[in-house]
Structure 1
Amino acid sequence: MLVFWKQKLVMLAVPKTGTSAYEEALTPVASMIVNDPPELKHAPVYRYNRFFRPMFDKVGAEDMELLAVIREPISWLGSWYRYRQRPFLDGRPTSTKDISFDDFCDAYARGDRPPFANVGSQAKFIEPRPNGVSVTHLYKYENQAGLITFLEDRLNIALDLPRTNVSPQRDLTLSPDIEAKLRRKCADDFEVWERAT
């Protein structure tokens, strides 16, 4: 998570949406960088609302705006799948080493996900809170040009993004029946992505 105090902007770090590259590029102009532990770095709206917002409100920043980036859901799952094939996870229950992308997505679409497919939900990550706290600026990962333009204008900077934290390439072919199941069972994630800029 990155906080830009003077610009009254908080950039939430939705996992697998390129936030590591933005963190590296924007650290010099950020007022606060939360990069550890992962539970705070990747704080969803509900955790921001519970822990960070009250602190910001106490020091006069009641009107902070939230920025989040979300990725097309199948592409997002593909990034998680590839990430979890890295050798450091070999032998762990979260590894996808000997699992096909179809099997990974099928497991993700279940109600009770096994550890290797338990990667959360982008829709839940940005879910508005009952007190009205919600994401103000929601960008598609696939609209990097729009996101960069927004950040350059808002922060008054020129942005040069590095490539960081890139997962290994893998076959991400998804069978039509598994894709249909994903679209049915995870409709909220597809709907949220559709309405993003």
Structure 2
Amino acid sequence: MLVFSEARLVFLAVPKTGSTAFETALAPLAAMSVTAPPELKHAPVFRYNRFFRPMIERFVAPDMDILAVMREPIGWLGSWYRYRQRPAAAGQPTSTHGMSFDDFVSAYCSGNQPAFARVGSQAKFLEPQRNGTRVTHLFRYEDQPGLIAFLEARLNTRLEPASLNRSPDRPTPLSAATEARLRRKFADDFTLWQGIGANGSYHALAARPAPEPRAG
């Protein structure tokens, strides 16, 4: 996560969307750069809202814009699958060695996800909060020129991010039945990605209502 005080911009780091490359390129311009641990580096909207927003609104500005990047959902899962195939992951509970991408996605869609398939949801990461905290600029990972143009204009800089922390290339075929199951179970992710327009505009999903209090 990067905070740019003069530009009044917060850049949330959605995992597997190239955030490390932008972090490396833009950290010198940031008033605050959160690079570790992963739970804070990749703070989703709800965690930003709870822990970071009060501090930033008090000491920086109350009207910060929030920027994030979202990847096409199947491509996003493919990046996770390939990342967990790297040699360093072999033998770990999160490794995807010895399984197909179809098996990985099937496990991701299961009611009780095994460790290797617990990668979260981009829609959940980006979910607006009931107090109005939400991403104000959302770019598709696939629209790198649009994202770079936005950042260059907003930060008044030239930007040439290097390719860092990329998952190794390998095929990720997915059966029609598994894809259909994925699209049903994670419909919010596909709806959100499809609603992203030019210049970071998008149709945000509604904030989830507060849970009903238990009786008794």
Which residue number corresponds to residue 19 of structure 1?
19
* One-letter identity of the residue aligned with 2:15: P
Deviations 1:31-65 (A, max 9, x none): 11100010000000000000000101222511011
Q: Which residue of 2 aligns with 1:101?
A: 101
The alpha-carbon deviation at position 171 of structure 1 amounts to 1.5
Q: How far apart, CA to CA, are the structure 2 residues paired with 1:56 and 1:30?
A: 13
- Divergent runs of 4+, >2 A: none
Aligned length: 197
Q: How does 1:40-119 map to 2 (within 5 A)?
A: 40-119=40-119
* SS of aligned partner of 1:139: strand
**What one-letter code is carried by the residue in structure 2 that aligns with 1:55?**
M
| Deviations 1:170-191, CA, capped at 9 Å, x for gaps | 2111111111111111101101
Structure 2 distance, partners of 1:151, 1:69, is: 12
Which residue of structure 2 aligns with residue 133 of structure 1?
Answer: 133
- CA-CA distance at 1:195 after TM superposition: 1.1
**Counterpart secondary structure, 1:47:** helix
Residue in 2 that maps onto 1:187:
187
1:59-116 Cα distance to aligned partner (Å, 9 max, x none) = 2511011101000000000000000011111111100011100000011111221110
Aligned partners of 2:147 and 2:60: how far apart in 1?
27
Stretch deviating more after TM superposition (85-94 or 6-15): 85-94
Secondary structure of the 1:138 match is strand
Matched residue SS, 1:3: strand
How far apart are the structure 2 equivalents of 1:66 and 1:60? 14
- SS of equivalent residue, structure 1 residue 183: helix
State the alpha-carbon separation in 2 of the partners of residues 176 and 150 from structure 1.
36
Following the alignment from structure 1 to structure 2, what is the Cα–Cα distance between the partners of residues 148 and 169? 24
SS of the residue aligned with 1:10? strand
Sequence identity percentage? 62
CA distance in 1, matches of 2:67, 2:95: 31
For 1:172 and 1:103, locate their aligned partners in 2 and report how far apart those are by CA, in whole Å: 11
Task: Tell me the distance in 2 between the aligned counterparts of 1:168 and 1:147.
Answer: 23
Question: Aligned equivalents of 2:60 and 2:180: distance in 1?
Answer: 47
Gaps of 5+ in 2: 198-216
What's the counterpart of residue 157 of structure 1? 157
Alpha-carbon RMSD:
0.8
**Residue equivalent to 1:32:** 32
1:167: Cα distance to partner? 1.0
What amino acid sits opposite 2:110 in the alignment? R
CA–CA distance in 1 between the matches of 2:150 and 2:129?
25
Could you say what secondary structure the match of 2:88 adopts? helix
Matched-pair contact (CA < 8 Å) for 2:5–2:60 = no
> With structure 2 as the length reference, what TM-score do the two structures score?
0.89
